[in-house]
Chains A and B, each alone.
Chain A
Amino acid sequence: MAIQTSSLELGSGTLVQAIPASASRGYWKSVARRLRRDPVTLVCAGTLILIVAAALAAPWLGLADPYKTSMLRRLYPLGSPNHILGTDELGRDMFSRLIYGGRLSLFMGVTPVLCALLIGGFLGITAGFLGGRVNMAIMRVMDVFYAFPSVLLAISLSGAMGAGTENTLLSLTLVFIPPICRVSESVTTQVRGFDFVDAARASGASTLTIVRVHVLGNVLGPILVYATSLISVAIILAAGLSFLGLGVKPPEPEWGLMLNTLRQAIYVNPVLAALPGVMIFITSICFNMMSDGLRAAMDVKA
């Protein structure tokens, strides 16, 4: 029984229907392009850049000394001369402290996520790709940490280790490693099951080459999206720890700590007392919106 068809002309490619080359070259470039067109993402990115830039450039912006106290000029309201946003309970300029506070608050939010991304991502990808005993060993350890709600884990760890910036960074990193590891493992396991990874294995390449060329490119996207969604949680958690007195120690300016020390002022100058929280809120919501935008940009197949 013969299959009725004309035989193919090889080498010319004329019988094969060609799709016109699309405008999108490269996956990441198309993601960037979509991000650039989304107004919400742009506004959030702009706001964040402003906050970060201000925080980084703080020493050179000609601001008042954030540590300089003054018993006379305490709790000045907003709009006072020389102090646009008033002064805090020890007479320090609020505007300056808010901007300087951004340095520590952002640092405490981003750094643990970054470290957790490196460690948790590495562990997760390894567990996902190798499978078997390695996978079980790593994931069971993560399960132990997962048995705690994140806030509880952070507080217990910080509570035990004591207050201070380094301890907070350590405990927050430990809190974020398990979720990032879990997401990395699940994504890697999924990609590992795809035929093209099998095809790469069948070609006889080394494991490292296969992971580098085939796995990482497909896995880093979702992991990064997840990690960016954790930044806002980290900022709030770090602020929360400082609020409880477990994080940054006074007199350092940090938004969460400021919320704590200004509590006594809520009867005197309530708006002032709420200001540091506004900064946390704005930063957190911008990061969340950008993470959502990133996810949306990466979701659409080019």
Chain B
Amino acid sequence: MLLYALRRLIYLVPVALGVSLLVFALVHLAPGDPISAIVPPDAPKEVIDKLKEYYGFDKPLPVQYFRWLAVTLTGDLGNSIGTGRPVASEVASAFGNTIILAIAATTLAFTLAVILGTAAAYAKSRIVDRLVTLISLVGVSVPHFWLAIVLVIIFAVELGALPPMGMGPENSTGWRFDRAHLAHMVLPTIALSVIPLGVVTRTVRSTIKETLSMEFVTALQAKGMNDRQILRHVLKNAAPTCLAVMGLQAGNLIGGSILIETVFAWPGTGFLLNSAIFRRDLPILQGTTLVLAGFFMLLNLTVDVIQTMVDPRIKRG
């Protein structure tokens, strides 16, 4: 088992290198001189040249890449052009905020999805099945950032019940588990959870339906097992696929939270990315992308390994 995980980790290395190359190239995709993002256009030439040397922009590209790679691997992601503070610490604190939201959203989405999906698969009446299918279809089709705006309109503007933006009350920094902060969390959590809800509900419903139609269920019924015990077997059978999809959705959620965070001004990695793009703060852009992509890769690896553990059919050769 450990060997398998280790082997997959080694597999990741070339991919990780490719990812780093892509992230490095991002900066150079940007139009214009990277330097122009840092200094005003009318700066004296000596200043520009000095900064070029400091950031290493004057060396040939491959050299720049390896320098950057070497520095990055030590954990130093450079400094933000806007605030001057180390990128790594900015990303770390933003990441924490995103995780809070992600945990809430995935818990909500996955719990509901399992309940709805199972209910739909077992339902005798077609109405329940149709309803759940509709819910999951809506979840997948709705533009979640629009839903966020609609939620703000309904609950913040019209009803005034929930705050429209921010992570906590005006002058609080950081997150705490209290009523005010939880109130700020409600709307973004709902908005963030729709897509995973839609996808996972569909997956749960279809895997359970498929499992129910397998012959071993008939065999269990013939043996005299009651429905609840069969349900345990069915869930165990459907678990690997569903877990894999859940893992993927969780990863997408964390990496793709930028839209919701922008609507709610939630200070997570998405919001950080957004402001970095507009300030042309390339070190933050690179650092955030790198961290998010790296996290996504590790998450996928974990999901793969867990799936192998849970599903005995997958060969660990």
Where the two chains meet, the residues of A that have a C-beta atom closer than 8 Å to any C-beta of B are 140-141, 143-145, 147-152, 155-157, 159-162, 232, 236, 239-240, 243-246, 259, 263, 266-267, 270, 273-274, 276-277, 280-281, 284-285, 287-289, 292
Contact = CB atoms under 8 A, between A and B. Distances in A.
Interface stretch (B54-62, B133-141, B223-231, B303-311): B133-141
Nearest to A281: B142
Interface string B84-122: 000000000000000000000000000000000000000
Specify the main secondary structure of chain B where it touches its partner: helix
B157 interface: yes
A169 to B, nearest CB: 15
A280 B23 CA distance: 31
Given A152-B289, A160-B30, A277-B147, 8 more contacts: A148-B255, A148-B292, A152-B258, A156-B273, A159-B276, A232-B141, A267-B157, A270-B157
Contacts of B274: 244
A273 B31 CA distance: 33
B18 A143 contact: yes
A151 B259 contact: yes
A289 B258 CA distance: 27
A169 B262 CA distance: 22
B7 to A, nearest CB: 15
B42 interface: no
A153 to B, nearest CB: 8
Listed from nearest, the 10 A-B pairs whose CB atoms lie closest are A277-B146, A149-B255, A151-B256, A144-B18, A159-B277, A285-B141, A152-B255, A160-B26, A270-B153, A284-B141
B297 interface: yes
Point out which of A150, A155, A239 has the most chain B C-beta atoms below 10 A from its C-beta: A155
A123 B289 CA distance: 27
A246 B262 CA distance: 13
Point out which of B140, B141, B277, B300 has the most chain A C-beta atoms below 10 A from its C-beta: B141
Point out which of A148, A245, A284 has the most chain B C-beta atoms below 10 A from its C-beta: A148
Contact of A281 (B23, B143, B255, B273): B143
Contacts of A151: 252, 255-256, 258-259
A167 to B, nearest CB: 9
B292 A284 contact: no
Contact of A259 (B21, B22, B146): B146
Given A157-B26, A161-B30, A149 B252 contact: yes
Contacts of B259: 151, 240, 243-244
A152 B146 contact: no
B277 A155 contact: yes
A285 B18 CA distance: 35
Given A152-B255, A244-B259, A259-B146, A157 B29 contact: yes
11 contacts: A151-B255, A155-B277, A159-B273, A160-B285, A240-B143, A244-B262, A244-B277, A245-B278, A259-B149, A284-B142, A284-B143
A161 B293 CA distance: 19
A195 to B, nearest CB: 24
B266 interface: no
Specify the main secondary structure of chain A where it touches its partner: helix
Nearest to B15: A143
Interface residues of B, number: 49
Contacts of B242: none
Contacts of B252: 149-151
Point out which of A149, A161, A266 has the most chain B C-beta atoms below 10 A from its C-beta: A149
Contacts of B142: 281, 284-285
Nearest to A158: B277
Contacts of B150: 274, 277
B143 A236 contact: yes
Contact of A140 (B14, B138, B147, B289): B14
Interface in B1-51: 14-16, 18-19, 21-23, 26-27, 29-31
A284 B145 CA distance: 14
Contacts of A267: 157
Interface in B246-273: 251-252, 254-256, 258-259, 262, 273
A233 B33 CA distance: 33
A275 to B, nearest CB: 10
A143 B15 CA distance: 7
Nearest to A292: B137
A155 B14 CA distance: 23
B185 interface: no
Given A147-B296, A151-B258, A152-B289, A240 B145 contact: yes
Contact of A274 (B138, B146, B258, B297): B146
Contacts of B277: 155, 159, 244, 246
Contacts of B278: 245
B3 to A, nearest CB: 21
A177 B142 CA distance: 23
A140 B18 CA distance: 9
A160 B14 CA distance: 24
Contacts of B31: 161-162
Nearest to B164: A266
B296 A239 contact: no
A159 B15 contact: no
Nearest to A246: B277
B296 A149 contact: yes
